[in-house]
Every structure is written in structure tokens, then in C-alpha cells.
Structure 1
Amino acid sequence: MPSSYRLVRMLWLKTTMQLRTDSLRKLCQVSRHSSGPPAQSVTPAPFTSDRRATSRHRHVPLHTLPLLHPSRLHRSAPCLHLCRQASTTGGAGWYEGVADSIPVHVTEQLLTWVNQATGLPWWATIVCTTFALRTAITLPLGAYQAVVVAKVEGLQPEIAELAKRLHYEISVRAKEKNWTDKKCRYQFKKNLKRIVSELYVRDNCHPFKASVLIWVQLPMWVCLSLALRNLSLGLSEATTALQGELTVGGALWFSDLTLPDSTWIVPISLGLVNLLITEIFALQRREASKVQKYVTHFIRGISVLMVPLAATVPSSMALYWLSSSCVGLGHNLLLRSPRLRRLCHIPPMRSDSDTPYRDIASSLVAKYIK
């Protein structure tokens, strides 16, 4: 019986030692990938069937023996610390996530390529890139937006005529079927919505298509802004080398493009240009609705808030915002030209004029000066 007991105990100890050895081997493999020195393998003591050796170590349970030496555990601590630090920094905010996205990095490469291909200073690179992108992308979309808006305005007389006929037919049907006023209003709105949708499909001028310009221009504005921010702050190894070029790539009073404009000349100019664009759009609407008036006031508030914001960001970003607004103002005025509107096949509108620029200047003088 004692020999059987020793045999069972020996088998149990051998199995336990084998499991501990496998676990230790996995831990050593993990430690090789850490920043600290690699953990050395620990070979268990040879198992022996000697009764005296077994009895000598019987008072020390196997599960209480450490798998690694305390010094080894201490050396592997930096690996665990780095892993925890990486896991905590991985949950960055959405702003940093967008700034580190692929479109922003592609925009950084585009700006770097333009600067190296043209040999221009960085301030001229920003201005020329802004002009090229807005002319190649947003100007055609602006012309398409003008076509859609003109078609929608041209459909208003036809919609008004169909609404009158629909109102008459519903009144006749209401007398036949004894409809209530609520039922009549419901049928009128339902059928009028269907008729207007059919007209939009017929002329291919759904009002949602007029918002394509915003959905393209806004992401482009965000990508260029964040790309210039990354280049100015040198947040990565690739942008660190370019940060030195931006420190001397400015002109006039903003010689360092990585610092905010302390004179506030660029931010104030940005606010004035944005307000001018807003007022020109407001003058185009002769009979604005309440919603349009609220939207105009909201855009005016955003234009004013952009001034202190542009004074806190690097000058490269503020210069891009000013360049983009100036190019947008030029495109808006260009799309008022009767010759260009005929060239782009933009249907005539009630607000069209043979002398659009003279009319805009006289309207601004009459509204704000006299």
C-alpha cells in the first residue's frame, strides 16, 4: 500500500511539474517580445524516485514555489507598464482620431509633393494648393448647384398652377364623399408632395442635389486644416522634418507658420471675407423666409466666432482658411457673370442681371453706408 501511494504521488508530481513547465515556456516566449531583457528558462529539478530526496522536500508544497526568480519578475515589469500605457493611449478622442486618419495623411503628402515639385515657399504652397483644389473641385460643383437652384425656381409657377387644380379636385371629391377638413388637408398635402416629386424627377433637379457642394467642400476643408495642423505641430516623424521648414516658410508679419498670428490681421480678414460672402447671399434673396433669415444670422455668428478661433491656431491653418474664403468669394462672384452662366447652361433666374457686380455694390452701399 505505501508503495502504491508513493507511485500515485510521484505520477501526480510529475504531471504538475510538466504543466508548470509548459506555462513557464509560454511566459518566456512572451517575455522575449518585451522591451526588457529576455527571461531565461527555468528548468525544474530532475525528478528522482529516491525516498530520502522526496522526504527532504516534502515540507515545501510545490504550488508555493515561484515560477520565476523575483529579479526576473522585477525586470519584466516595464513590459507590463508599456502594455498598460499603450492600452490607455489607444482610446484617444475623436479629434485625434480624425487627425490621424488616412485622408488627412494623404492630404499631408499632397501638400508636401506640391511644395517639393514647385519649389515654392510654404505660404505660397498653401495658397496655390487651395486655389487649385477649389477651382478643380468646388467650382464645377458650384455651377451644378446653380443649375439645380435655377431649375427648382423655374418649376415654382408650374407647381402653383398644379396646386390650384389639385385644390379644386379635392374640394369636389370632398363633397362627393363627405370628407372632413382634416381629411382634405391630408389628401392635398399627400398628392401635392407626389406631384412635386414627379416634377423634380422629370427635370432632374431634386433640391438635395444642391447640397452636394457642402458635402464635398466640408470634408476637404477639414482634411486640409488638420493636415496643416499636423505639419505645423510635427506630431510624427514624417512631419517633424517639415516643421522646421514651416517655421521659416511664412511671409510679411507671419514669417513662422507654426505660431498663431499675434497681429490678428489674418483672423480679422477671415471674418470680414466670410461676412461679405454671407451678405452677398442675403442680397440675392429678395423675399427671404423666416428659416432663411435664421440661417443667415447663424452663418453670421459662425463668421464672427471664426475670428478668435483663427487667432489661436497656427498661422498655416489661418492662412488656408483665409485663402479658401477668398477663393470662394471669387467663385461666387464669377458665377454671377451672365457670360459664364450661359457657358455653363444655367437657366435664367429672377435675380439675374446684366450688371450683377454693379448691382451688388450699390445694394451694399445702400444697406450699410447710406
Structure 2
Amino acid sequence: MLSRAAVCCRVLPCSSAAPSLGIQRPKSLQLSHPLQPSRRYISNQLPSGIAPLFQYVSESYISVAVQNGIEALHTMGLPWTGSILATGLLLRLVTSPFHIYAEKLFAESFHARNFLTQQIVKKVCDKYRVEFTPNEAGNKLVMKTDNKEVIHAAETMVKEYVPQLLGAKGLQPTRIQNLKMCTVPVWIFSSFALRNIISADFHPSFPGHLWIPDLLQPDPLYILPVLVGVFGYLNLWSQRKIYPVQKSTLFIKSYDFLLGFLTLFSVVIMAQLPACIPFYWLVVSISGMAQAQILRHPRVKKVLGIKRLPSDSDKPIRDLFLMRKQV
């Protein structure tokens, strides 16, 4: 009911409804503007198969709440560009506890995995009377043997028992990944909130900046969509640098390929949408990468109670590009 009321407020030409929404309605639809038809790239003329889904997301409580929040920020005096920027940063702050908790679980999982692996291998070495001592670099323990039977026995026991023990403590990788992924719907719903504003019958004016004369027009130079893709790939690359996998399996390669394809596909789509939408997603991407790097700082981890990792750094951005591949 709330979403229907919000829609009705935009359709009825009642002057008393405008101040409550914080929308500066144009005197006309300015149909004479030479580029005006491109404002309807996100019109409601959708394929019948996905139209109900789009309607559901657009009218959901989350979308309507974020929409009202964007309009409230504009009512407080922020320009529409500032309102979009502030919304992205505020939502990043609201969803940060999920990422902080996931980071805490990952650190605990990392140390628990190393401890359990060490204990299991030590028992195998004791059984077969093999030395288990530090390597030449002194950074990890290794078995002093070339006996394939002993090595195979140790690897088998590690693969069998470590995941079970981690799962018993709630430190399984899927749980940690799901904590991070559960924030994705927030960004999707918030995008539809912005869509609701700019696709209304009496949509407000979104003045542009720099090379974009109107934020309701697609970026004429494709700079914003390309930047969204660049930061998307940087996020993927940085995650692999900070949290490297010991063995690149077919599943890992397929997962990376899928994320890369979706990032490229989103760039193609955003190039056709009003510039305010890729601008919003650029804010989301930059703030997401900044959050990930801030959580690598030792002082931040100490305050948040997160155990340290080998990838932590006092200068995370610089050291991200200087970091060697961990094994």
C-alpha cells in the first residue's frame, strides 16, 4: 500500500503533494528537447516474462524506503547528485557489519585451518616417524620426507577432517561467502529506488556535471559505465590477491569467469541507461573497494577485534599492487 501511495503522489497534479516528496517538478515534460526520448530507456515497457519481477522489486518496502530516503536527502538541500552519492555511502555503512563479521570469521577460519592442518600432519609424521620441522625460510612447517605414501596419508586426513572441524565451529567458506553476498539485494533494490524516481510521470530534473549535461541521459562518452567495469574487475582482482586459493579448480575458474562476464554485461547495460544509474554503481564499487582495503589495516582490525592475516598492511592500496602471490 505504501508503494501505491508513493506512485499516486507523483501522478496526481496536486501542488500540496510536491513539498512532501522533495521533488522539483518541471513545468513541462520538455518534449521538444532533442534527446528527450532517451530518457525512457528504463520505461515500464518490459518483456512480459520479467515485468512482474520488476514491478515486485520496484514496489517492495526496501525500494520504497530507499526512494523516500533519496528524496528526503534532496529535500534537506542536497542536489540530486549529492543525494545519490550520500545514499550509496550510507547504505555501504549500513551493510558494513555483514562484511566485518565475514572478515572476522575468515580470519578465524584461516588460523584454525593452519592449526588443524599442523596438528593432523604432526600426528601422521609421528606415526611414520618422519621429521616435521620448519623449512629453510622458516615461515612454515614441512615434512622431511619424499615418501609418497606418507605425503598422501597426510593430505587425505587434512582433506577429510579439516572441513568437518571448521564446519562444526561455523567457519565453513560458504557461510563466509554468503555473509558478503547477502548485501547484494540491498544494492539491487536501491537501484530500483532510483529507477522509481526517474521513471515517474513527473520525474524531477537531474542536472549534469562536467561532460554529462543531463544525468537523465546516457553518458555520451561512456566514461561512467567503463569506470564501473574497471572498479568491478579491480574488486575481483584484489579479492584474489588478498585471499588467494591454494589450488585453482574448475569451480574457482568458472566462478571467476561468471563474475567477470556479469561485470562486462553490466557495463553494456549501463551504457544505455541514464547516467545517474552508473554514477550510483560507481559510488557502490569505489566504496566497496575502499571498505575491503580499510579492513586490511592492522589498527582497524584491532579496534574491530579481527585477527591479523599475512595480507594485512599499514598501506593497503600500495601494498596490494606490490603483494606477491601467496601459497
TM-score grouping bracket, smaller chain normalisation: 0.5 to 0.7
Question: Is 1:340 paired with 2:287?
Answer: no
Structure 1 CA distance for aligned equivalents of residues 206 and 191 of structure 2: 19
SS in 2 for 1:140: helix
Please say which of residues 248-257 and 137-146 is displaced more in the overlay. Answer: 248-257
| Aligned partner of 1:278 among 210, 215, 236 | 236
Structure 1 unpaired stretches of 5+ = 1-88, 169-184, 235-239
Q: Report 1 or 2 for greater relative contact order, CA contacts < 8 Å, sequence distance ≥ 6.
A: 2
Q: Which residue of 2 aligns with 1:54?
A: none
- For residues 191-225 of structure 1, the C-alpha deviation after alignment (integer angstroms, 9 at most, x for no partner) is 945x75455444x5343441344343211111111
TM-superposed deviation, 1:334: 0.9
SS in 1 for 2:276: helix
Cα RMSD of the aligned pairs, angstroms, is 3.4
Structure 2 CA distance for aligned equivalents of residues 326 and 353 of structure 1: 19
Structure 2 unpaired stretches of 5+ = 1-47, 126-152
Q: Is the contact made by 1:229 and 1:314 (CA closer than 8 Å) also made in structure 2? A: no
| Aligned partner of 1:224 among 186, 190, 193 | 190
TM-superposed deviation, 1:257: 2.5
Q: Which residue of 2 aligns with 1:295?
A: 255
Question: Is 1:120 paired with 2:86?
Answer: no
Q: Which residue of 2 aligns with 1:154?
A: 111
Query: Are residues 289 and 248 of structure 1, via their aligned partners in 2, closer, same or farther at CA, if it must alter by over 3 Å?
Result: same
TM-superposed deviation, 1:320: 0.8
- Correspondences of 1:206-221 after superposition (within 5 Å): 206-221=172-187
Query: Are residues 120 and 95 of structure 1, via their aligned partners in 2, closer, same or farther at CA, if it must alter by over 3 Å?
Result: same
Q: Which residue of 1 aligns with 2:63?
A: 104
Q: Is the contact made by 1:145 and 1:213 (CA closer than 8 Å) also made in structure 2? A: yes
SS in 2 for 1:279: helix
Q: Which residue of 1 aligns with 2:286?
A: 326
TM-superposed deviation, 1:102: 3.0
Question: How many residues matched?
Answer: 250
Read off the aligned partner of 2:56 and give its amino acid letter. G
TM-superposed deviation, 1:349: 1.8
Of all paired residues, the percent bearing the same amino acid is: 23
Please say which of residues 281-290 and 257-266 is displaced more in the overlay. Answer: 281-290
TM-score, normalised with respect to structure 1: 0.59
Structure 1 CA distance for aligned equivalents of residues 282 and 263 of structure 2: 12
Structure 1 CA distance for aligned equivalents of residues 210 and 288 of structure 2: 24
Structure 1 CA distance for aligned equivalents of residues 278 and 163 of structure 2: 43
Read off the aligned partner of 1:100 and give its amino acid letter. E
- For residues 32-59 of structure 1, the C-alpha deviation after alignment (integer angstroms, 9 at most, x for no partner) is xxxxxxxxxxxxxxxxxxxxxxxxxxxx
Q: Which residue of 1 aligns with 2:92?
A: 134
Q: Which has the higher helix share?
A: 1
- For residues 229-278 of structure 1, the C-alpha deviation after alignment (integer angstroms, 9 at most, x for no partner) is 121111xxxxx33x1x2x33432333423222122111011111111112
User: Based on CA coordinates, which of the two structures has the bigger radius of gyration?
Assistant: 1
Structure 2 CA distance for aligned equivalents of residues 336 and 162 of structure 1: 28
Question: Is 1:304 paired with 2:264?
Answer: yes
| Aligned partner of 1:269 among 227, 234, 248 | 227
